[in-house]
Amino acid sequence: MRKALRLRRLSRPRDDRYLFVPLDHSVSDGPVVPRDRWPDLIRSVVVGGADAIIVHKGRVRTIDPHLLAGCALVVHLSAGTAHAADANAKVLVGEVEEALRLGADAVSVHVNVGSDTEARQLADLGVVAGACDAWNVPLVAMVYPRGPRVADPHDPALLSHVVNIAVDLGADIVKTNLALPAERMAEVVASCPIPVLVAGGPADGGCVVDRARASMAAGCAGLAVGRRVFTAPSPVALVAELAAVVHVDRHPDPHPDLVHAVATAAP
């Protein structure tokens, strides 16, 4: 029951659809935004209508809790950098208990299927899933076909395989690539008994809103868009537009009560 309550918090309108904004890129690639812009970025994401942000445990301590009014917190437990000998390798750098002490509503783990360290990453996912069950914490699995043995990371059959790995190892929500052509993402969704979220894609991957519409039309439960948001000219406008696509009855303009709550948060 407690896990079900936490899962409900991950969808602000309680419609079982999700717009997550991952901001964990500072470990893999470097700073997301300069230090003085970080509070404004969080405000923009919350006011725009994101259901949750995803950050690493240390980064949580830099966020004024008032800024997360109405927005869930997911603590990411995996890490690796672009400078490593194997940039697809991910290791655990946190525990479920730590995330709970920080006020997390859920945790997330990254697995690259097809990488040289796939076995270790699968084992880590299984360990975290066990801890999540013990503590009644939702688990978001970010599972991608990525590595030297992957010919087509957008192949629907391969994506169906990786999302079901997440199911079998205990995840509650899975994030992965969009199939190409996009309409074939429906096959991936049909294969998977847990909610499927689509990643935002590369910065040069075309219109992210069109990608969002295609994903939702294929039956996905939502989106996890990070880089496309924090590099956007207006993050708040983009998040609002994406929220309107994910939550079909939500007006793209941020709700005035939420704008006031965040605008008056402690500096």
Residues assigned a catalytic role = 24, 144, 175
Q: How far is CA 34 from CA 39, 58, 267, in A?
A: 10, 16, 16
SS (H, E, C) 231-263: CCCCHHHHHHHHHHHHCCCCCCCCCHHHHHHHH
Both structure tokens of 175: 């994030």
Where do we find the tokens 């939500």?
250
Both structure tokens of 24: 């964990």
Both structure tokens of 212: 């969002």
Please answer whether residues 80 and 87 qualify as being in contact, where contact means their C-beta atoms are separated by less than 8 angstroms.
yes
